[in-house]
Structure 1
Amino acid sequence: MRASEHFTVAVIGASGLLGRAIAGELASAPGAKQWRIVRTAHSRADAHSVKLDLLDRDAVSAFFREFAPDAIVVAAAERRPDVCENDPAHARALNVDALRVIASEARSLGAWVLSISTDYVFDGTAPPYFPDDAPAPLNAYGQSKLDGERALLESDPASCVLRLPLLYGPFTGWNESAVTSLTPAIVESADPARPPASMDAWATRYPTFTPDVAVVIRGMLEHHAKGATISGITQWSGDEPMTKFDIAQRIARTLNVDAKLVAQRTPTDTTPRPRDCHLDSGRLEALGIGRRTPFDSAIATLLANYPDMPDQ
């Protein structure tokens, strides 16, 4: 990229939990003046984003013709396992078919695609998982994301998949993350008139801070911009193992509430979920890419910034 040129990055799904962090990091990064960031959103489009329905192929084609991005980060997906299980056709339309269309449009422009995937492509029986380990998803969500990975890489082997685990970060509502969604029940359980809150203590998770993921993605984009494109499967993960019960205890300590928590040691979800899908991050670490914020400091920052919490 010549110094006088702008490198255009389309962030697909920029209104979501991860998309906001990516767009914000790219806009504020050193040398950001050379980056042109085009944000897309669907139901939450605003003056700072382009409204785009990924299920409308003509709209997707028109978007790429208008903005001609050099790189595309796909952070939009149907990520709710229960929704995917109940409506696999919808999950496939967004997580597979739309990604195939994006890959086709990108290929016609010579643009690089970085698509976000999940640790749920694995069955959680033999961690840690490396990028070339055989996937074995347990549910429709994991299968749809795996099929999306394959659709992208078959369309253009130079494109890239970034698998991530449980995400949390600056949020607009408690339910944006399975981490912050625990908070209301934690706070309510401290009320003597309310029953204890039951929290899963069976599955091990690796909560990963979205601003850290955004730094990882910026590093990957910088590699591409200088001609050192990263392709194939990559992975990034926080390195602190914890169950939702452990997470809830840490949130309770952060809020200084005397929460009444009960450890649920057998799975209760109607949708099957893997027990431990720890992702090995060595490929990106070897390139000097990565950042990990300790969970306790990250969650304290998040909760301190949101005074409109439930009554304690």
Structure 2
Amino acid sequence: MKIAVLGASGLLGSAVCRSVIHRGYSLLAYSNRETISFSDQYHSKQLPFSDDNQLTREFFDQWPDAVVNCAAISSPDTVDQSPELAHLVNVEGASRLASISAHIGARFIHISTDMVFDGSTSPYRSTDMPNPLSEYGRQKLESEKRVLSVTDENLAVLRITLLNGNSPLGRRSQHEKILRALMSGKKLTLFDDEIRQPCSVENLSDVIVELIERPNLNGLFHWAGNEEISRYELGIRILKRFGINPENIIRGSIKNPENQGQRPQHLSFILEPLASKVRSVPLSIEEQLKELQIPKDMYTWYRKFADSPNCYIPRF
């Protein structure tokens, strides 16, 4: 089976590529700018969403059996700054990929977000009514509707939550952002009343490949880890995992006037019916933390900065 992955240079896209290779399938990896090497055989190819002709020609030439769309402008601040550009990727690109996939008979997996909900009535089922607070959430909801309108079969939309993992450039995941802030001399403020249900990116990528293998599972699904946690507590546990003083993180509140508006306070998922239909099992916070690594370019700083650097043994 030949599987195309869009957004291959990102945190999730790169993990999906690794999972595809691990399962023994043929990989077509695409990214917007960066070129990522996954093995001697597989490297990502630049394929911008803005060039509709190039996008169409590439997929008609390659004719993949499945397409996974991990490409997105996912930072709410970036979306607010450039909503038209974000819409081109988050909505127009996703819709076009779904149409092309349907035309060539490829199974299509589209990645969406918990940000389609307002956080007022967690935990959410996939059948609950969305109410996004941010432009990013509104764009992802629009992309869901347009993708799901393409066909009733051979297509799945998967809403996901906050991701823990290791990105190719060491800058995308929660622990990487926290550590880089500390390396630059900053103290982070994280909210103790902003509740999420984090997910392991490696675990999620295995679920995505399982969805590809299961053409009978079509429609809208949720996936996450098996625990809720506040942003603040997650930051504390990340620092403890690496032997760093947790006092480097400041406890804040989402209820402060300057923080209110576009941040849902409590986002968590009910994982059925998908959880009972796949082999992969949602992971605990502790299991997710064990997967985290110090980016290679930060290791020298880490050895000097950490209170107990021997908590972490690098994988070379």
TM-score bracket for the superposition, by shorter chain length: 0.7 to 0.9
Give the AA of the match of 1:87.
S
Is the CA contact (8 Å cut-off) linking 2:115 and 2:137 kept in structure 1? yes
Q: Does 1:166 align with 2:162?
A: yes
Name the aligned partner's letter for residue 33 of structure 2.
S
Contact kept, 8 Å, 1:115 with 1:161, in 2: the verdict is yes
Matching residue within 153, 166, 171 for 1:175: 171
**Alignment CA distance shift 1:271-1:83 (3 Å):** farther
Shift of 1:251: 1.7
Show the counterpart of 2:83: 88
The CA deviation string for residues 119-148 of structure 1, in whole angstroms up to 9 with x for no partner, is: 000000001111111010000000000000
1:28 corresponds, among 14, 22, 31, to 22
- Counterpart position of 1:266: 254
The partner residue of 2:197 within 201, 206, 219 is: 206
Give the secondary structure class of the aligned counterpart of 2:166.
coil
302-311 or 284-293: bigger deviation: 302-311
Report the residue type matching 2:226 in the other structure.
D
**Cα separation, 2, equivalents of 1:300 and 1:162:** 25
- Please name the residue that 1:13 is paired with: 7
Deviation of 1:308 (Å): 4.4
Q: How does 1:49-198 map to 2 (within 5 A)?
A: 49-158=44-153, 159-185=155-181, 197-198=188-189
Q: Alignment length, in residue pairs? A: 293
CA distance in 1, matches of 2:12, 2:36: 17
Q: Which amino acid aligns with 1:41?
A: S
- Contact 2:170/2:295 (CA < 8 Å) preserved in 1? no
The answer to whether the Cα contact below 8 Å between 1:21 and 1:214 also exists between their aligned partners in 2 is yes
Decide which moves more: 135-144 or 264-273: 264-273
Q: 1:250 aligns with which of 218, 237, 240?
A: 237
Equivalent positions of 1:262-301 (< 5 A) are 262-267=250-255, 268-269=258-259, 272-301=262-291
* Letter in structure 2 aligned against 1:208: C
Stretches of structure 2 lacking an aligned partner (at least 5 in a row)? 38-42, 306-316
Distance 1:76 1:140 in 2: 17
Amino acid aligned to 1:82: D
Q: Which residue of 1 aligns with 2:309?
A: none
Q: What is the distance in 2 between the residues matched to 1:85 and 1:305?
A: 29
Whole-angstrom CA distance in 1 between matches of 2:278 and 2:77: 36
Q: Is the CA contact (8 Å cut-off) linking 1:117 and 1:161 kept in structure 2?
A: yes
Identify if the C-alpha distance between structure 1 residues 298 and 46 changes in structure 2 by more than 3 Å, giving closer, same or farther. closer
In the alignment, the residues of structure 2 paired with residue 175 and residue 20 of structure 1 have an alpha-carbon distance, to the nearest angstrom, of 13
Look up the equivalent residue of 1:282 and give its one-letter code: E
Q: What is the alpha-carbon distance in structure 1 between the residues aligned to residue 99 and residue 186 of structure 2? A: 53
Contact 1:187 1:257 in 2 (8 A): no
**1:299, CA displacement in angstroms?**
2.4
Aligned CA distance change for structure 1 residues 96 and 300 (closer, same or farther; 3 Å): same
| Amino acid in structure 2 at the alignment position of 1:265 | S
Please state if 1:222 is matched with 2:213. yes
State the alpha-carbon separation in 2 of the partners of residues 84 and 19 from structure 1. Answer: 19
Q: Is the 8 A contact 2:254 2:265 kept in 1?
A: no
Alignment-mate amino acid for residue 98 of structure 2: A
With over 3 angstroms needed to count, the CA separation of the structure-2 counterparts of 1:256 and 1:112, relative to structure 1, is same
3-state SS in 2 of match to 1:113: strand
Alpha-carbon distance between aligned partners in 1 of 2:2 and 2:80, rounded to the nearest angstrom: 36
Q: CA deviation at 1:239?
A: 1.8
Tell me how far 1:271 sits from its aligned partner: 6.2
Two-structure CA RMSD over aligned residues (Å): 2.1
Query: Secondary structure of 1:199's partner?
Result: strand
Quote the Cα distance in structure 2 between the aligned partners of 1:166 and 1:270: 19
